[in-house]
Amino acid sequence: MAPQVGLAVARVLERLGHTCEFRPAQTCCGQPSFNSGYWDEARSVAIHALDVFAGAEAVVGPSGSCVAMMRVFYPQILTGTPHEQAALDLAARTFEFGEFLVEKLGVTDVGARFPHRVTYHDGCHGLRELRIKNAPRELLRHVRDLEFVECDDTESCCGFGGLFSVKYPMISTAMAEVKGGSLARTECDYIVSSDPSCQLQLDGWLSRSGKKPRTIHLAEVLAGADA
Amino acid sequence: MTPATPAAEPHTAFEAANPHLAKKKFLEDAAEHVRDTGHRAFVRKALGGYYTSRDTQKSRYRDWEQARDAASLAKWSAVNRLDELLPRFVAKFEANGGRVHWARNAEEARDIILGLLRATKQEAIIKSKCMTSEEIHLNAAMEADGYGVVESDLGEFIQQLRGEPPYHFVFPCMHVRRDEISDLFGKHLGTPPTDSPEELTMIARRHMRRLYIDADVGITGANFLVAETGQISITENEGNARLTAALPRVHIAISGIEKVIEHLDDLAVLLPMLATAGAGQPMTCYNTLYAGPRKPGECDGPEEMHLVLLDNSRTALLADPEQRDALHCIRCGACLNVCPIFKNVGGFTYGTTYQGPIGSVITPHLRGLADWNHLSGASSLCGACTDACPVRIDIHHHLLHNRRNAAISAPSRLERLGHRLFVMVAKRPWLFATGGAVFRRTLWLIKKLRPPLLRDWLATRDLPPAPAHSFRSLWRTRA
């Protein structure tokens, strides 16, 4: 649903002198099955992913949620299987995009310009499974002409939660209402996110309720995208 | 893996009549509750004050995270040695003159307490806040036997007058507005309307004083059972538990077996953390240790002191190494206070004794996974609960464990089929890419057809149009 995000990630990394590779065998991380309790099915998808990413120096994902699945939950569901070591090995090589720039590459200024007022939405998996809090803010602080405003409710969940959003739509929407409302009150032009799934939820609700701001992925901001 | 859950006891008349409709009722009640935006805003505002005071108190710890480690270790080492610590506690408690009664389940606990009441041949009962008594539906059983019982905790008293269970297991009437309390007191106690919290408190206090003196039996809960000394530790803000325990002739305390801790010193970390995590206080106003009934030569205290130790599926949870840490719970309520689900569906929607994230984890163990797994499903897995827990229970991951256990023990055929199809596609990149292409080209049509699930999304949220090209094709053709 968001092909521009992957391209933006590659643009930023290549600008920094790295080589990006996309392996066409890549599919989904398997989180929908894992979160639904169907761990045998999730395991099967995880093993496919282990094969796909074998040998890559670093695996960078523009989604805290997918990265949490690969880094935190693959080793858990593959414990005691012949794939345990490969899962741990992949976990050590897998990074969320903003985290990779700041923590792994030590880069906080990627030379981007984005003349807008923005706030940042902490995605729960990035924040609480991967403990990413400062990296995206550091990166945004170094973007030219960007005005950053913190939302007082920044760590609250947007209510997506994968299949939760359609199995319990009323609760999911109520959560979007609370978080989307807080984000809109910052009077920002854009809500920066590191998770396309949070973006789907927040934009879905913001658009339906006629509120102004829209989300944008951190990679798009850093790639210099200007809508 | 979860051990087989014992037959659960119906919680409400509705549940007794419809044992397998808990999920349906949850969905209906949640849908109704989220429409009450005023109520949701009221609860958010109330908790906003709590966040401020909690953070102020947390900042006074030299290292809150280390304090969590210490509190969690105290509970971990006790829960993992219950077999040793419980008998040690009981020996000390009985040496102090108290009497212990073991109850395997709710029915046994009620029978023990009703038996004690009959033996004392008294009828007036005063009771302080005790969630274990809610768990065993004690008030209803006592009332059915003709005993009059009054809740002495202000919040519980208000809920008793309203004929409602606690909305939140620490703040039982947090959902009730001040003017509603004033009206309630006017109706039941004949007092004039007032908007002053102090006056409302004084109304309850004046009403209650006489009852403490007249009561023959005082029933309390317990926050901690100290194995080293045989003491019961009770934490409260109103002084009502002290009066409940001290003035009547007989004191009956009820506690889950997991409340035991080894050392008196453990309270040095557990009591302040309970207060800070639970209510944003440095310490709760009254922290009392009860060490047996009145001894010869003492001028006050109850003549008899009984402790009912309740299992009610706790040993089954203890046997589950994956979720055993759920027994660390000190019932502070911090996980409810930060939970976006709790804040949006409210306390009653759960239909359980213990609401919120910890309730969603333990209720399937207490009352059966098949009927209560929907509570584990009703979470975005945001993890705010786990971060808030002062004793480091892995709450949101246990929701995942419950979901997995349910998928094994009672899988939905349709859902399993869906996941198998998903795996079939996800393991075949060509099929995955083809599926994506079909989805992109037909999304406009799918949106018109509004199939289940997508219909639920579109009812309240938009879905952007599909992008013209896939990442795959853009990647192939990019400069």
Where is the domain boundary, A102, A131, A151? A102
Read off the pLDDT of residues A182-205 as tens digits, 9 standing for 90 and up.
999 999 999 999 999 999 999 999
If asked whether residues A130 and A205 sit together in one domain, one would say yes
If asked whether residues A131 and A218 sit together in one domain, one would say yes
How close, in Å, is residue B438 to chain A by CA atoms?
Answer: 13
Nearest CA in chain B to A32: B419
B289 touches chain A (CB under 8 A): no
Contacts of A4 in chain B (CB under 8 A): 467
Across the interface, of B27, B378, B387, the residue whose CB is closest to A128 is: B387
Distances (CA, A) of B474 to A10, A219, B144, B425: 12, 17, 72, 21
Where is the domain boundary, A76, A102, A128? A102
Q: Which amino acid is at B346?
A: G
Restricting to B residues 206-245, those with a Cβ less than 8 Å away from any Cβ of A are: none
If asked whether residues A80 and A143 sit together in one domain, one would say no
The answer as to whether A153 is a domain residue is yes
Whether this model's ipTM surpasses 0.85 comes out as: yes
The answer as to whether A108 is a domain residue is no
Distances (CA, A) of B43 to A156, B49, B52: 15, 10, 15
The answer as to whether A123 is a domain residue is yes
If asked whether residues A94 and A156 sit together in one domain, one would say no
Determine the Cα–Cα distance for residues A3 and B469; give it in Å rounded to an integer: 8
Put simply, the answer to whether B426 touches A208 (Cβ < 8 Å) is no
Best A11, A27, A202 member to test B by mutation, with max B CBs in 10 Å, is: A27
Contacts of B400 in chain A (CB under 8 A): 34-35, 37
- Tell me the domains of chain B and their CATH numbers: 13-35+316-409 (1.10.1060), 86-312 (3.40.50.10420), 414-477 (no CATH)
If asked whether residues A82 and A123 sit together in one domain, one would say no
- Banded model confidence at residue A224, pLDDT cuts 50, 70, 90: confident
Best B381, B446, B477 member to test A by mutation, with max A CBs in 10 Å, is: B381
Instruction: Give residue A187's domain range.
Output: 117-222
B370 touches chain A (CB under 8 A): no
Beta carbons of B226 and B268 less than 8 angstroms apart: no
Across the interface, of A166, A168, A207, the residue whose CB is closest to B378 is: A168
- Grouped pLDDT means (10 residues each) for chain B, 479 residues: 43 62 94 97 96 97 98 98 98 98 98 93 90 96 93 97 96 97 97 96 94 95 98 97 96 98 98 98 97 93 97 97 98 98 98 97 95 97 98 98 96 94 97 96 94 95 95 90
Q: Quick one: three-class SS letters along chain B?
A: CCCCCCCCCCCCHHHHHCCCCHHHHHHHHHHHHHHCHHHHHHHHHHHHHHHHHHHHHHCCCCCHHHHHHHHHHHHHHHHCCHHHHHHHHHHHHHHCCCEEEEECCHHHHHHHHHHHHHHHCCCEEEECCCHHHHHCCHHHHHHHCCCEEEECCHHHHHHHHHCCCCCCCCCCCCCCCHHHHHHHHHHHHCCCCCCCHHHHHHHHHHHHHHHHHHCCEEEECCCEEECCCCEEEEEECCCHHHHHHHCCCEEEEEEEHHHEECCHHHHHHHHHHHHHHHHCCCCCCEEEEECCCCCCCCCCCCCEEEEEEECCCHHHHHCCCCCHHHHHCCCCCHHHHHCHHHHHHCCHHHCCCCCHHHHHHHHHHHHCHHHHHHHHHCCCCCCHHHHHCCCCCCHHHHHHHHHHHHHHHCCCHHHHHHHHHHHHHHCCHHHHHHHHHHHHHHHHHHHHHCCCCHHHHHCCCCCCCCCCCCHHHHHHHCC
Distances (CA, A) of B229 to B86, B286, B287: 12, 19, 16
If asked whether residues A133 and A78 sit together in one domain, one would say no
Across the interface, of B344, B471, B472, the residue whose CB is closest to A175 is: B344
Restricting to A residues 33-72, those with a Cβ less than 8 Å away from any Cβ of B are: 33-39, 41, 44-45, 48
Across the interface, of A36, A161, A172, the residue whose CB is closest to B419 is: A36
- Spatial CB neighbours of A180, under 8 Å, sequence gap ≥ 6: A158, A202, A205, A206, A209, A211
The answer as to whether A107 is a domain residue is no
Restricting to B residues 335-354, those with a Cβ less than 8 Å away from any Cβ of A are: 340-341, 343-345
The answer as to whether A109 is a domain residue is no
Contacts of A70 in chain B (CB under 8 A): none
If asked whether residues A64 and A145 sit together in one domain, one would say no
pTM to 2 decimals? 0.95
If asked whether residues A130 and A203 sit together in one domain, one would say yes
Put simply, the answer to whether A1 touches B377 (Cβ < 8 Å) is no
Put simply, the answer to whether A7 touches B475 (Cβ < 8 Å) is yes
If asked whether residues A128 and A210 sit together in one domain, one would say yes
A199 touches chain B (CB under 8 A): no
Beta carbons of B385 and B335 less than 8 angstroms apart: yes
Determine the Cα–Cα distance for residues B88 and B228; give it in Å rounded to an integer: 7
Beta carbons of B276 and B57 less than 8 angstroms apart: yes
A81 touches chain B (CB under 8 A): no
What is the residue-averaged pLDDT of chain A?
Answer: 96
If asked whether residues A10 and A71 sit together in one domain, one would say yes
Determine the Cα–Cα distance for residues A43 and A79; give it in Å rounded to an integer: 10
How close, in Å, is residue A141 to chain B by CA atoms?
Answer: 26
If asked whether residues A96 and A126 sit together in one domain, one would say no
- Banded model confidence at residue A27, pLDDT cuts 50, 70, 90: very high
Distances (CA, A) of B392 to B196, B360, B386, B475: 38, 16, 7, 44
Beta carbons of B386 and B397 less than 8 angstroms apart: yes
Where is the domain boundary, A77, A102, A127? A102
Q: Which amino acid is at B380?
A: S
Restricting to B residues 412-441, those with a Cβ less than 8 Å away from any Cβ of A are: 415-416, 419-420, 422-423, 425-427, 429, 432-433
If asked whether residues A83 and A177 sit together in one domain, one would say no
Contacts of B461 in chain A (CB under 8 A): 173, 176, 201, 204-205, 207-208
The answer as to whether A127 is a domain residue is yes
Put simply, the answer to whether A208 touches B462 (Cβ < 8 Å) is yes
Which CATH number do you get for residue A185? 3.40.50
User: CA nearest A202: which of A183, A227, A187, A220?
Assistant: A183
The answer as to whether A21 is a domain residue is yes
Number of structural domains found in chain A: 2
Nearest CA in chain B to A165: B457
Judged by DSSP in three states, A120 sits in strand
A181 touches chain B (CB under 8 A): no
Contacts of B389 in chain A (CB under 8 A): none
Beta carbons of A121 and A98 less than 8 angstroms apart: no
Put simply, the answer to whether B378 touches A173 (Cβ < 8 Å) is no
- Banded model confidence at residue A225, pLDDT cuts 50, 70, 90: low
Beta carbons of B109 and B308 less than 8 angstroms apart: yes
The answer as to whether A150 is a domain residue is yes
Best A31, A33, A72 member to test B by mutation, with max B CBs in 10 Å, is: A33
How close, in Å, is residue B271 to chain A by CA atoms?
Answer: 27
